[in-house]
Amino acid sequence: MKKKDVPQDKSNLESVSFRELCYAVDENGEYVTANSTGWNPKTIALNNAIQEINERIKKAKTNVLNNQTSPIEYYMEVHKMDLSILASYVGMWKWRVKRHFKPSVFEKLNTKILNKYATVFDISIAQLQNIQSN
């Protein structure tokens, strides 16, 4: 692609002064770098991903309020983590973190374990235990 043809479509990332470095061909036929603010297909994909994340957060919150899962799963979704990432941050096996998703198990967690989760999520233990304020 020629340098003058590097896409400059508007995207969600434009508001944070996001620029993507691309390679393009200049008028001498040599490869040069050029900044791009994005292009339409990428914007569509980004919007779809953000929508999916928001739906997963909403579903997790509903499940917590219906006592089907613990707040740990909700905060994991809010912080855009998966089970593997969360387990590594709290220093536990994945199966153990997944077990903490059960409301009956979550209610029995001691302060030390709750504090690990609260620290990772950058919230207090009280906020971890009560998502209704979010």
pLDDT(133) > 70: no
61-120 pLDDT, tens digit per residue, is: 999 999 999 999 999 999 999 999 999 999 999 999 999 999 999 999 999 999 999 999
Please tell me the distance from the alpha carbon of residue 96 to that of residue 109, in angstroms, as a whole number: 12
Both tokens of residue 120? Answer: 């990772």
Domains of the chain: 3-38 (no CATH), 68-133 (1.10.260.40)
Backbone conformation region of residue 95, classed left if phi is above 0, alpha if psi is from -120 to 50, else beta = alpha
4-61 pLDDT, tens digit per residue, is: 666 666 665 555 556 777 888 888 888 888 887 767 777 788 889 989 999 999 999 9
**What pTM, to 2 d.p., does this model score?**
0.74
Both tokens of residue 42? Answer: 């990428």
